Amino acid sequence: MKILDGKKIKQEILDELKEEVSKLKNKPHLVVIQVGNNEASNVYIKQKAKMCEYIGYDYTHLKFPEDITEECLLSKIDELNKDKSVTGILVQMPVPDHIDTSKVQNAVSEYKDVDGLSDINAGKLFHNKDALFSCTPYGVMELLRRYNIKLEGMNAVVVGRSNLVGKPMGTMLTNAGATVTICHSKTKDLKKHTLKADLLVVTVGKPKLVTKDMVRKGAIVIDVGISRLAEGLCGDVDFENVKEKAKYITPVPGGVGPMTVAMLAKNVLKAYYLQKGE
């Protein structure tokens, strides 16, 4: 069993980006928009600020009150889309209920959508065109690439079908030549599917959903879920028991989480080049 160390790979990526950015005349500029004061959001935003500072990106955090109107928020996004000094725009989720999440994500210009969540960028991914990709599945792909894991011809099973991770993950694996099955809450006999997986990606948010008896010996197990239990953070996979059967496995924390931040950093630089027509 080998641990896929997202923390280590994240550091490698940030160091590569830092070096590249040091040679640029103008620094890429990330703007993070926050509505309200969600505790988890505060933590994630601090990570993003730290990442920008380390690489050398310019960084702006715009914080709006919980009761901002949707119209006012969309108008601010429009202003940032037109601002040539802004490279990437990220609206920190969740936003309050009176604001339409999809409307907000699609208001961000496709060239500044560093979260990779707009319909246009999702469509480009579907058509196997280069784009700004959703950071978490993109991070999984990069982690596998850096450990020289060849996906072509593999049976890949993705558990979870969210627009944020499950669906783009399935598409990325298909584009890489894997044979993909997507399972979800309506799937009958989940174990029957997971036992066929050479590569198993679990992204549901249910602690220890995947147990040892559900995993084929020698499988690669990627745990995207993270839950806070009394004994600490844990993923969707029963790590301690499953690791005995897996060839490779990601820990929680320290696996996919750090890769999400790393790929956001990569997307900011990618957006910078896209806007320059490079």
Q: Which residues are catalytic?
A: 48, 92, 115
How far is C-alpha 111 from the chain's CA centre? 17
Residue with tokens 């920190």: 92
Whole-number Cα distances in Å, 4 to 9, 20, 44, 92, 180: 9, 25, 22, 27, 21
Helical pair 6-22 and 39-55, crossing angle rounded to 10 deg = 50
d(CA 36, CA 257): 23
User: Which distant-in-sequence residues (6+ apart) come within 8 Å of 117 by Cβ?
Assistant: 105, 134, 163, 164
Amino acid at 239: F
User: 3-class SS at 67?
Assistant: coil
Distance CA 140, CA 214 (A): 21
For 92: left if phi > 0, alpha if psi spans -120 to 50, otherwise beta; the answer is beta
Cα–Cα separations (whole angstroms), residue 219 to 134, 201, 249, 252: 25, 11, 9, 18
- Compute and round to an integer the Cα radius of gyration of the chain: 19
Dihedral over Cα of 114, 109, 166, 146: its sign:
negative
